[in-house]
Chains A and B, each alone.
Chain A
């Protein structure tokens, strides 16, 4: 609804309007075999900030990132973890250069993330909600 209103407002303002791309919904996705129906933002943030490497099931999470250039990535981190890109990078450099953890594997596109998550029972990733299909399961959505 919110988006619809924005689009109407955009139409009204025409030239002055720039549709904010970052307003698309982001879905946190897991493999359909994953037993968890939902996950909290804190649970997801722990995995993507390297504080925990386990899924609610106890299995080691195989987390995947979108490229740094993807707007969806910035939106995911700012909405789910409350941190901006440089803060996320700094947090991971603290872990990498302590030998404690390695950051999520970076995949080239939402399609690749979806493919990876569909193929790996312990995978977790995030993509634009509009790109979600039956091959993956949404455990958290953020605006």
Chain B
């Protein structure tokens, strides 16, 4: 067992302790600035070495040797209150990014105008509300799970957008309705995914008895800046091939991911009353590119026994449409090579998998929770695992995770 992150974990742990201490000192001061933060130290190990377990966009994952690089993170947030109406919030999040580095990233930087008790407007960089748990998906302490179910949360690589949102909250009888409209653009460094013309809605209703319902939908234009993809699309659109058959250019257009329509839609329900808690989400990803159409869902049920909360999650991610069929003829080595290249691109999108997870959260202290989670993932081919070559069969894999979460 090798822990490859000793260098990283130590300064982070120190920073967390220091900040936890200073936050107490600031708690009762009447400052215009409020500081808060969250952190997770997490270790993951999987039962085989065929595929590595990583979160979407991370190039480095866990195999049979333990790694702290998948779940460990530190977020620091400061909110400055200018007056009763205006606040500014900045959040810096450090976790393994798309380049495999722990470079602190600007997760949020927005100004908020609380126009009335019901209406708020934000401008800047803010969390993209694509899921039921979006803004605080990295805040382990705020969630029962060790991490959000990847069969759903692994479908969208971006977590924030640059733009504006408008949110309106009102009460209808005993229900609280919150509707959020947002628009802007988003990009991910490292794997070079861009979402432009992002327009979305996110609506939640909190009902009596601990039940919350949610609906969300977002439209965008997707661009994936990949040299491999560009090379294959360029070759398929080669005029010399067009003379042979229109199939080539048509396939090139199907695969191309330049300003292609991409949508994400989700419904969700959560229940939290007394000792029982339950969460459910069903989501649909649709694109007009090589990025596959997928449906993802999960159900989590948990029960509190004092400070201990065991929970069970069942989830599935299913490719519903590969968006392209590799039907090009391959009578020559050159064409066979091209066909193989297309297969590699499409193979990477065959992410169907099912997961059963069993976990335990222990609220050891007011702001510290320990968690352990066991998952059994059954990928159809490679699932969401990182594989040496697209199309690799990973097979049923156990994932063992432990984490300690804090907020301060």
Residues on A facing B (Cβ under 8 Å): 51-54, 58, 60, 68, 82, 84-87, 89-90, 93-94, 96-100, 102, 105-108
Partner of A51, one of B30, B79, B176, B369: B176
Report if B136 contacts A (CB, 8 A): yes
Contact A97 B136 (CB under 8 A): yes
Q: Which residue of A lies closest to B77 (CB)?
A: A97
Contact B27 A106 (CB under 8 A): yes
How many residues of B are counted as interface, with CB atoms below 8 angstroms from the partner's CB atoms? Answer: 37
Contact B369 A99 (CB under 8 A): no
Q: Which residue of A lies closest to B28 (CB)?
A: A106
Q: Given A51-B176, A99-B110, A106-B27, verify A93-B142 contact (CB < 8 Å).
A: yes
Interface residues of B in 5-63 (CB under 8 A from A): 27-28, 30, 34, 36, 38
**How many CB-defined contacts (below 8 Å) exist between A and B?**
71
Contact B36 A97 (CB under 8 A): yes
Partner of B366, one of A52, A89, A106: A89
Given A99-B110, A99-B112, 13 new contacts (CB under 8 A): A60-B117, A82-B274, A86-B369, A90-B141, A90-B143, A97-B77, A97-B139, A98-B135, A99-B79, A99-B126, A99-B135, A102-B79, A106-B28
Q: Which residue of A lies closest to B117 (CB)?
A: A54
Distance, CA A87 to CA B276, complexed state (A): 12
Contact A94 B136 (CB under 8 A): yes
**Chain A: minimal CB distance from B306 (Å):** 8
Report if B407 contacts A (CB, 8 A): yes
Distance, CA A89 to CA B136, complexed state (A): 13
Residues of the B chain whose Cβ atoms lie less than 8 Å from the Cβ of A89: 141, 366-367, 407
Contact B366 A99 (CB under 8 A): no
Q: Which residue of A lies closest to B136 (CB)?
A: A97
Distance, CA A18 to CA B165, complexed state (A): 54
**Chain B: minimal CB distance from A115 (Å):** 13
**Chain B: minimal CB distance from A92 (Å):** 8
Report if B127 contacts A (CB, 8 A): yes
18 pairs, A vs B, C-beta closer than 8 Å: A68-B366, A82-B274, A85-B366, A89-B366, A89-B407, A90-B143, A93-B142, A94-B139, A96-B36, A97-B36, A97-B75, A97-B135, A98-B127, A99-B89, A99-B122, A102-B79, A106-B28, A108-B28
Which 9 residue pairs spanning A and B have beta carbons closest together? Answer: A86-B363, A98-B135, A93-B142, A97-B136, A93-B407, A94-B142, A97-B139, A99-B89, A94-B136
Interface residues of B in 70-107 (CB under 8 A from A): 75, 77, 79, 84, 89, 91
Contact A93 B28 (CB under 8 A): no
Distance, CA A53 to CA B75, complexed state (A): 26
Interface residues of B in 200-237 (CB under 8 A from A): 206
**Chain B: minimal CB distance from A80 (Å):** 14
Contact code string B252-276 (vs A, CB < 8 Å = 1, else 0):
0000000000000000000001100
Report if B307 contacts A (CB, 8 A): yes
Q: Given A82-B274, A89-B407, verify A96-B367 contact (CB < 8 Å).
A: no
Report if B108 contacts A (CB, 8 A): yes
Residues of the B chain whose Cβ atoms lie less than 8 Å from the Cβ of A54: 117
Contact B38 A53 (CB under 8 A): no
Residues of the A chain whose Cβ atoms lie less than 8 Å from the Cβ of B307: 86
Residue among B38, B79, B135, B274 facing the most chain A CB atoms (10 A cut-off): B135
Distance, CA A84 to CA B365, complexed state (A): 12
Residues of the B chain whose Cβ atoms lie less than 8 Å from the Cβ of A85: 366
Residues of the B chain whose Cβ atoms lie less than 8 Å from the Cβ of A94: 135-136, 139, 142
Q: Which residue of B lies closest to A74 (CB)?
A: B366
**Chain A: minimal CB distance from B357 (Å):** 19
Distance, CA A13 to CA B48, complexed state (A): 61
Distance, CA A106 to CA B367, complexed state (A): 16
Contact code string B123-141 (vs A, CB < 8 Å = 1, else 0):
0001100000001100101
Distance, CA A60 to CA B117, complexed state (A): 7
Interface residues of B in 321-364 (CB under 8 A from A): 363
Residues of the B chain whose Cβ atoms lie less than 8 Å from the Cβ of A87: 304
Partner of A96, one of B77, B108, B110: B77
**Chain A: minimal CB distance from B145 (Å):** 12
Q: Which residue of A lies closest to B30 (CB)?
A: A105
Partner of A102, one of B34, B126, B407: B34
Residue among B122, B142, B274, B304 facing the most chain A CB atoms (10 A cut-off): B142
Distance, CA A82 to CA B91, complexed state (A): 31
Residues of the A chain whose Cβ atoms lie less than 8 Å from the Cβ of B112: 99
Residues of the A chain whose Cβ atoms lie less than 8 Å from the Cβ of B27: 106
Residues of the A chain whose Cβ atoms lie less than 8 Å from the Cβ of B75: 97
**Chain A: minimal CB distance from B171 (Å):** 8
**Chain A: minimal CB distance from B84 (Å):** 8
Q: Which residue of A lies closest to B273 (CB)?
A: A82
Q: Which residue of A lies closest to B75 (CB)?
A: A97
Distance, CA A3 to CA B135, complexed state (A): 46
Q: Which residue of A lies closest to B167 (CB)?
A: A100
Residues of the B chain whose Cβ atoms lie less than 8 Å from the Cβ of A53: 117
Distance, CA A97 to CA B307, complexed state (A): 23
Residues of the A chain whose Cβ atoms lie less than 8 Å from the Cβ of B176: 51-52
